[in-house]
Structure 1
């Protein structure tokens, strides 16, 4: 269970987030600059709230008056909007980058099969397509077996065919892993197709939409 109750002052408004999330998929919608990515960054530990609390399964990520939990201890998978693949590393090296040595990688082998990238492992990012980069980045974000998955505009660079394929893969992974997932999107159709819950954020204020 993810518990979020925090405030963060941004340039033009205060971001105020209060919600709980179980093993569901939550879509974040809203205009650019409304605070959606800041929410993801606060959960990941890239930035910190000014006050409040963030906890996952009883572990405090952030709590007023305490030192924030380090990024590497949060077990958060994060798929960045630009995928953030290392150009000088192969696909396989990118995927294994954040996995501790000695880790059983059987689940990673299974992920590469599910996401259809087994044949890409020896290639470099410049040698693969945008849809393939998205699947590699998703595999990397899941490689360390996170307790929550965050995705920032995961389908924005994909054509319709690749978007549909990647969405089906994401639903399949969620069904198997049963972890909370939060994704940012500008496409209401994506939110309605994938999410159990849809939250709109505008100028730091959140309202939840009814799905269906």
Structure 2
């Protein structure tokens, strides 16, 4: 379970986040600059809150007055909005970048099969499509077997057909892994199709919305 209760002063307002998340997909919606990505960055350890606490499965990520847990020890999978693939690495090297020498390559092979990217492994990012980049970035985020997955506008640059296929892949991955997923999106349709819970953030204030998948809870 993810537990978040933090405050973070931003330029125009203060972000106040207080929620818990089990093995669900939570969609964060709201206008640009409302605090959505800042919240993801706080969970990942890229940004530190001003006060409060963050924990996952009983392990403290952040607690006021204590040294924050290092990013590499948080077991967080993070798919950035621009995918952040290394242009000089092949697809295979991008996926394996964060893994140690004793990594479970059978797990990585299964990921590439599920996501349908086996034939892309020797290609470079500039040689593949936007939808393919999205799947490669998702494979990289999942390669280290994270305990939580953070997705920042992962479908914003995709056409409708590719977006629908990526939705199916995400739902299949979630069904297999059963880990908390937080999805930041501007598209209400994405939130309604994918999320078990929908939370709106406006100027740092969170409010839970109705979800079509409420029966999951």
TM-score class, shorter-chain normalisation, is over 0.9
Structure 2 residue aligned with 1:106: 106
> Which whole-Å deviations, capped at 9, do the CAs of 1:16-36 have from their partners, x for residues lacking one?
000000000000000000000
Structure 1 residue aligned with 2:3: 3
Deviates more, 1:98-107 or 1:65-74: 98-107
SS in 1 for 2:4: strand
Structure 1 residue aligned with 2:15: 15
**Quick one: distance in 1 between partners of 2:174 and 2:70?**
25
**Quick one: distance in 2 between partners of 1:193 and 1:110?**
25
Structure 1 vs Structure 2 CA RMSD:
0.4
Using the size of structure 2 for normalisation, the TM-score is: 0.97
Unmatched segments (≥5 aa) in structure 2: 213-217
**Quick one: distance in 1 between partners of 2:151 and 2:57?**
20
Using the size of structure 1 for normalisation, the TM-score is: 0.99
Matched length? 212
Q: Which runs of 4+ in 1 moved over 4 A?
A: none
Structure 2 residue aligned with 1:210: 210
**Quick one: distance in 2 between partners of 1:50 and 1:141?**
27
> Which whole-Å deviations, capped at 9, do the CAs of 1:142-168 have from their partners, x for residues lacking one?
000000000000100100000000000
Alpha-carbon shift at residue 107 of structure 1 (Å):
1.1
> Which whole-Å deviations, capped at 9, do the CAs of 1:46-83 have from their partners, x for residues lacking one?
00000000000000000001000000000000000000
Structure 2 residue aligned with 1:138: 138
**Quick one: distance in 1 between partners of 2:130 and 2:211?**
30
Alpha-carbon shift at residue 100 of structure 1 (Å):
1.0
